[in-house]
Amino acid sequence: MVAQPRAEAAQAGWREFIIEALIRVLGFSTIGFVLLIFLFLLREGVPTFYEVSPSNLFGTHWYPTFDLFGTLPLLLGSALVTVTAILIALPLGVATAVFVREVAPDWAREVLKPLIEVLAGIPSVVLGFFGMHVIAPLIRETLGVPTGLTVFTGGLLLAYMALPTIISVAEDALDAVPKSFRDAGLAMGATQWQTIWRVVVPAARSGITTAVLLGMGRAIGETMAVMMVTGNAARMPFTLDSLFRPARTMTATIAAEMGEVAQGSTHYHALFGIAIILFLLTFLINLVAASTIFKKQRRGGLR
Amino acid sequence: MEKIQVNHLDFYYGSHLALSDISIPIREHQITALIGPSGCGKSTFLRCLNRMNDTIRGTRVTGEVLLDGQDIYNRNTGVFELRKRVGMVFQRPNPFPQSIFSNVAFGPRVLGLGNRNELAHIVEESLRGAVLWDEVKDKLHEDAFSLSLGQQQRLCIARAIAVKPEVILMDEPCSALDPIATQHIEELMRALKADYTIVIVTHNMQQAARVSDFTGFFWMGKLVEFDVTKSMFTRPSQKLTEDYITGRAG
């Protein structure tokens, strides 16, 4: 090796140092911002836990005008809409991923993959608008319910929004299944369908779980479309027909009321309290999703 | 008696001729070994026998492969039925990421053979057939990946024999295994010979000499020589064969 002149080497070292430091600062600042946001949430939201009595806070009525801050209907509303969305999106998403990865001819895959990405790019307000004016009337008329703005309508739209995430993550999971498994299945005399169903999909199980959890994280945090189509009535979904009645989610509550609330009031703190709950929920879901990804990688290493 | 008779088989990857004019008889209840250097087409040939090459796009076969006198490339032969009759064991052990039991039960389940009790019986019988039963009988529901590589390969053999095939194709089944595990597989092959017709591809000439009854030597997509193993390894009729088995070519 030829020795570099010392000055040049020193300069190169300096440049390296600056670039490295810059990258490090940028990287850590992301973490820093998340922490700051969380601290802000805590500062604004924690007061609600001593300003409002627990029995009120976890009660069944959300009427801020009468100092009733029961978050239970909102929690259940979010849960119900999310679960509905996942129940619709899971079979559709996995089936689409299987089709795109395992069955579709090359040209169809070339067309489908970018289309699915476009799907992810549709602004939620546009979807909400579509839901309000196309899906809601359709549901009202076909099911004969008083209003088309229901949990089911919201679930349907959210399913649509969670689909791109579920499809692309599930597709990656299927892609990671070694060809040798497929060969083994086919060589046993299994049909392509049997091989997919009994070998490939089970082998991609952890990745598909991750896909669903990420889709769920996407669905539970979604605001605009949900606010536009779920009717926003904070009622307890205890009757059997709750699926086809309006509900109100945590996100929609915050979005709808934050603009009119007096800063520093109990109501204001309660909204931030909801935000904390929401933050913790999504954090938890993402954590579980991340840990299943980790498991998949370890498993991959064993092969 | 011939279990499989291959006549004038040509095989193409796209427009590339990978195998040309292969004719070979495969005797029933005998072990036929295919040897030759890497890339000579022996594995490709093996995969012609259960039509696994069908899964690769742009491949084409001409000539005939007669299984019990019936051409497997004939339109009337179902490929799934064929693969049930002609099982395969791969180069690297490839058990499914499932329990030991489900691995062996896979074939019978897919083909809809047997209820729960019969299934348990088939699994035990197959694992005994692959001389693996005593090692795994207490942990049938553990992950197949908890086994050693040699055990995994015997599990794959158990999985293949669970559907009672007539022929078993083995594509370098010992290349990922240590000598002891290799010895186990070779003993197993000799035992399986009574019930199955076996075709094994191997790059290990000692292995071919040890286990096989007939040997075919492939070189650059052609079958150079086919003979009884003993004659082939003692008095090869072709100069090329002699050079290869004595290590001067390949």
DSSP letters spanning chain B: -EEEEEEEEEEEETTEEEEEEEEEEEETTSEEEEE-STTSSHHHHHHHTTTGGGGSTTEEEEEEEEETTEETTSTTS-HHHHHHHEEEE-SS----SSBHHHHHHHHHHHTT---HHHHHHHHHHHHHHTT-HHHHTT-TTSBGGGS-HHHHHHHHHHHHHTT--SEEEEESTTTTS-HHHHHHHHHHHHHHTTT-EEEEE-S-HHHHHHH-SEEEEEETTEEEEEEEHHHHHHS-SSHHHHHHHTTS--
Distances in whole angstroms, Cα of residue A48 to Cα of each of A60, A267, B43, B201: 17, 8, 71, 74
Query: What burial class does residue B69 get, using C-beta atoms within 10 Å of its C-beta: 0-12 exposed, 13-18 middle, 19+ buried?
Result: exposed
As a whole number, the mean pLDDT across chain A is 87
Question: CA torsion sign, A262 to A263 to A266 to A267?
Answer: positive
Partners of B97 on chain A (C-beta within 8 Å) are 181, 202-203, 299
| Mutation target vs B (from A103, A188, A303; most B CBs, 10 A cutoff) | A188
Sign of CA dihedral B96, B97, B98, B100: positive
B residues 185-244 near A, CB within 8 Å? none
Q: Which chain B residue shows the shortest CA-CA distance from A301?
A: B145
Q: Which helix (H) or strand (E) holds A95?
A: helix A72-98
Domains annotated for chain B, with CATH where assigned, are: 2-245 (3.40.50.300)
**Subunit contact A189:B110, Cβ cutoff 8 A:** yes
Query: Three-state SS for A178?
Result: coil
First to last CA, chain B: 32
DSSP A242: G
Nearest chain A alpha carbon to B50: A187
Q: Do A303 and B145 touch (CB under 8 A)?
A: yes
Half-sphere exposure of B121 (CA within 13 A, CB side): 6
3-class DSSP assignment, residue A68:
strand
CB contact under 8 A, A189 and B81: yes
- Average pLDDT (A85-108) is 93
First to last CA, chain A: 41
Give the pLDDT band (50/70/90) at residue A2.
Answer: low
**Spatial distance between the Cα atoms of B24 and A143, rounded to a whole number of angstroms:** 69
Residue among B13, B18, B7, B11 nearest B220 (CA):
B18
CA distance linking residue A33 with residue B63, whole number of Å: 69
A218: pLDDT confidence band, cut at 50, 70 and 90? confident
Q: How far is B93 from chain A (nearest CA, A)?
A: 9
Is B97 within 8 Å of A198 when comparing Cβ atoms? no
CA distance B167 to B85: 6
Contact B96 A199 (CB under 8 A): yes
Query: A213-222 as b/e, with b when 16 or more CB fall inside 10 Å?
Result: bbbbbbbbbb
Q: Are B87 and A188 a contacting pair at CB < 8 A? A: yes
Nearest to A188 among B81, B97, B106 (CB): B106
> Is there a contact between B94 and A180 if contact means CB atoms under 8 Å apart?
yes
Give the number of other CB atoms < 10 A from CB of residue A92: 16
The span from the CA of B18 to the CA of B33, in Å, is 19
Fold (topology level) of A50-302: MetI-like fold (1.10.3720)
Contact B145/A181, CB-based, under 8 Å? no
Mapped onto helix, strand or coil, the DSSP state of residue A148 is: coil
CB pairs under 8 A between A and B: 67
Compute the nearest-CA separation of A187 from chain B (Å).
6
Give tens-digit pLDDT for A130-170. Answer: 999 999 999 888 888 888 898 999 999 999 999 999 999 99
Question: What ipTM describes this predicted complex?
Answer: 0.88
Determine the distance in angstroms separating the CA of A186 from the nearest CA of chain B, rounded to an integer.
Answer: 8
Count CB neighbours of B156 within 10 A. Answer: 27
List CB contacts (< 8 A) between B82 and chain A.
189
Element (H, E) at A69: strand A68-69
Percent of chain A with pLDDT over 90: 47
**Selected residue of A186, A194, A195, A206 to mutate for chain B interface (largest B Cβ count, 10 A):** A186
Task: Tell me what pLDDT residue A303 has.
Answer: 34
Structure tokens at B172: 């370098």
Report the gap between the CA of A204 and the closest CA in chain B (Å). 10
Cβ contacts (< 8 Å) between B111 and chain A: which residues? 189
Given an 8 Å threshold on Cβ–Cβ distance, is B159 in contact with A180? no
Q: Does A300 score more than 50 pLDDT?
A: no
Give the closest residue to A116 by CA, choosing from A166, A174, A158, A177.
A166
Distance of CA B41 to the CA centre of its chain: 14
Residues A19-37: b if buried by 16+ CB within 10 A, e if exposed = eeeeeeeeeeeeeeeeeee
Give the length of chain B. Answer: 250
**Is B167 an 8 Å CB contact of chain A?**
no
Min distance B104 CA to chain A CA atoms (Å): 11
CA distance B110 to A105: 25
3-class DSSP state for residue A62?
strand
Return the residue of B nearest to A205 by Cα.
B97
Phi and psi at A194, nearest 5°, equal -65, -40
d(CA A24, CA B74): 65
Q: How far is CA A159 from CA A128, A218, B196, in A?
A: 13, 10, 52
Digit-by-digit pLDDT tens for chain B (250 residues) are 889 999 999 999 988 999 999 999 999 999 999 999 988 999 999 999 999 998 888 899 999 999 998 899 987 788 898 999 999 999 999 999 999 999 999 999 988 877 888 899 999 999 999 889 999 999 999 999 999 999 999 999 999 999 999 999 999 999 888 899 899 999 999 999 999 999 999 988 889 999 999 999 999 999 999 999 999 999 888 889 988 888 877 6
